[in-house]
Amino acid sequence: MASSDNNAVTKRTVLLAVLVVIWVLLDQFTKSLVAGQELGKMFAGPFLGLIDFKLVHNTGGAWGIFEGNTVALGVFSLVVCALLLAYYIWQRREVNLVQTVGIGLIMAGGIGNAIDRFVQGYVIDFIEFSFFDFPVFNVADIGVTCGFVILFIGLALAWRNESKDES
């Protein structure tokens, strides 16, 4: 493998680690800012008619599924993060920049919510859409959701490039 390939892999790996750390810190910081608010009451907003802030303690998953299974969901999050990390390590020479960002955001979101689940017994959610009914969420959830979209875009780009190379 050429030195430039090793440099690219190293840069992507550093990006992955830095992205995970920064996103987890951002998630935990924002949760610490809202933790003292009154549970279930809007405490800020609406902002631009789009979002408001309301503290919710979530012991389930998205849309409240698996309510009360916070430890199992925390373990599941960490298993998914470990599998993503294993995939990244195994495929590090083939993983592109877009996939790296997607994997990093998913891992950071999973770790951020797992921290809440194991330390507090629930996930702190506080971001709520003002203009339609949608579950209350947090920065970690944004990472997971956007990360999956970005990862699939990165995979699609890689598959597209592979099919061009084969022609």
State yes or no: pLDDT of 84 exceeds 90. Answer: yes
Give the number of other Cβ atoms within 10 Å of residue 98's Cβ: 17
State yes or no: pLDDT of 1 exceeds 70. Answer: no
List pLDDT tens digits, range 129-163.
Answer: 998 888 999 999 999 999 999 999 999 999 888 77
Active-site choice (5, 27, 133, 141): 141
Note if 141 is an active site residue: yes
Structural element, H or E, at residue 54: strand 51-58
Note if 125 is an active site residue: yes
The letter for the amino acid at 149 is V
List pLDDT tens digits, range 29-80.
Answer: 999 999 999 999 999 888 888 999 999 999 988 777 778 789 999 999 999 9
Active-site choice (5, 27, 52, 125): 125
Max avg pLDDT among 6-10, 25-29, 92-96: 25-29
Query: Across the strands, what pairs with 53?
Result: 44, 127
Q: Tell me the pTM.
A: 0.91
Structural element, H or E, at residue 127: strand 123-129
